Structure 1
Amino acid sequence: MADADAPTDTINERDFIQSIERGFAVLTAFDADAPRPTLADIAKRTGFSRPAVRRILLTLQQLGYVTGSNGRWTLTPRVLSIGQHYTASHALIEISQPHLVALAEHTSEPASLAALDGTEVVHIADVPVRRIMSVNVSVGMRAAAYPTSMGRILLAWRGSEFIESYLGQVSIEPFTAQTVKSPDELRRVLEQVRHDGYSIVDEELEQGLLSASAPVRNAEGEVVAALASWTSKGRSTAKQMRDRVVPKLVELAASISTDLGHKAGITKMRGSGRG
């Protein structure tokens, strides 16, 4: 008999609580472009009616997650507790922290840990450095998966069925002149990533930005995160990163994997049926 409390990948319509979905939609309507939106702004961003948005905002205000003044709304610091609960409940982040520090000290560059969320990568842990970078690396930062070294790591070992599903959800758009041009090119790149065991992306997300990533595996051998190092083309080249950074990057990613219970030689591709 199935456990009614067990997590599931699917949910039937009867169990879906639309009000919770709408509450999160309103919370995520706040961003860098709209840090203090009006009720009308949020209604436009979410597609909800103004009366519905008003009720949701008043509920969130009562719970302490938003506050309103002069017709504009802002998030409160309480929303940060949601991210703190994620961090506290995921051993991966705690285990990875000293390895992130070691990577940043070895390279004198920012170090990041990211996971896949839908079609995007999201930073779940970061160690910054005191240097001006074109991209501000921080926890919660999101990016498209296909033009990033972290995204390619997180896609490469997911299996062909997952990759085809992913390609059906995204449009390959050029961030720079160097960005991959087509799904076929991305498939070839992901195959190369699996062969190499790491990924280097040279100015595909942003001009002048260079990054390298390696896979972090759980006890079952599945790639659950990507460990990354970032720099600028003014400070390094792809070849220099491959020679000087990638060996340490791969070593530290393997150390995190070992700490998570992964045994060398045991790897799995999600959704592919391959070991």
Structure 2
Amino acid sequence: MPDTDPGNSRSDDRDFIQSIERGFAVLHAFDDRDPNPSLAEIAAKTRLSRPAVRRILLTLQKLGYVTGEGSRWSLTPRVLSIGNHYTSSHALVDAALPKLVEIADYTHESASLGVLDGSDVVYAARVPVRRIMSINVSVGTRVPAYATSMGRALLAWAPRETVDAVVATTEFDKLTAATIGSADELEAELERVRELGYALATAELEDGLISLSAPVFDASSAVVGVLACSTSTARHSAESFRDLAAKCLVDCADRLSDELGRRR
């Protein structure tokens, strides 16, 4: 959640528009745990005053992004257009989609494109297969970087300051018994990922979930995303899934990086 403290150093930046920050803070108050919050609940989440939240909600309502019923508010489908503008204008997504189809066809498992946003990974594109998984994943879904193969493949080649920023804002909650629980464990995992060229995570985000991810680089050799593939322990062991998918995943990520102009 954005920091709404008026004493924040950003208030000294003449180019920083605090009202926009507050508008996005209100939009982020709607989530899967509380899709229909009240004005008071939004104020508590955002640490904004109730009059300020009321003005923002009424503005968003006039723009068509929220709707109110009684004391409760909800997002409208129009908010999806924001994400759609990203996918339709971002070359990475367009270039990645054929590779995701190739991975899904080869492995018969879901394939995804992930990008780093703060301490989370956001699904930017996805080619699903008809499987029943307990985790509900779609474009726009956010998952913690520290507990996922996608996050580790992104962080393993990220600048040091990016890794430090993620570590500083991560609480390292134990999502399952296998989830890593400290910055030192994460650093060891990142070193292992760099050695292998891909990341493998087993039952760390949720029990029974195995995922593989490989990094994608742009023309400046900066990591800009990851290609990922996931399965269930009911269908594969970590070893059999690695044998099945790792080479295909790394090859697709390498070819995508070449298409984006990476110089080897």
TM-score by length of 2: 0.92
Cα distance between partner residues in 2 of 1:165 and 1:26:
24
Cα distance between partner residues in 1 of 2:65 and 2:165:
35
Q: Look up the match of 1:200.
A: 200
Tell me the CA shift for residue 189 of structure 1: 1.1
Structure 2 gap ranges (5+): 1-9
Matched length:
255
- Aligned ranges for residues 47-66 of structure 1 at < 5 Å? 47-66=47-66
Q: Look up the match of 1:212.
A: 212
Q: Look up the match of 2:4.
A: none
Q: Look up the match of 2:31.
A: 31
**Is the Cα contact below 8 Å between 1:110 and 1:137 reproduced in 2?**
no
Q: State the percentage of identical aligned residues.
A: 56
- Residues 14-69 of structure 1 show CA distances to partners (whole Å, capped at 9, x for unaligned) of 21111101111111111112222221221122111111111111111111111112
Structure 1 gap ranges (5+): 1-9, 266-275
Q: Look up the match of 1:128.
A: 128
Cα distance between partner residues in 2 of 1:11 and 1:245:
48
Cα distance between partner residues in 2 of 1:26 and 1:13:
22
- Residues 190-243 of structure 1 show CA distances to partners (whole Å, capped at 9, x for unaligned) of 011011100100111111110000011111111110110010001001111221
Q: Look up the match of 1:272.
A: none
SS at match of 1:245: helix
Cα distance between partner residues in 2 of 1:13 and 1:115:
28
Distance 1:66 1:162, change over 3 A: closer
- Residues 94-127 of structure 1 show CA distances to partners (whole Å, capped at 9, x for unaligned) of 1111111111111111111000000111100011
**Is the Cα contact below 8 Å between 1:180 and 1:186 reproduced in 2?**
yes
Worse-superposed segment, 16-25 or 26-35: 26-35
SS at match of 2:146: coil
Cα distance between partner residues in 2 of 1:164 and 1:64:
38
Q: Look up the match of 1:77.
A: 77
Cα distance between partner residues in 2 of 1:15 and 1:255:
39
AA at the equivalent of 1:51 = P
Cα distance between partner residues in 2 of 1:42 and 1:95:
38
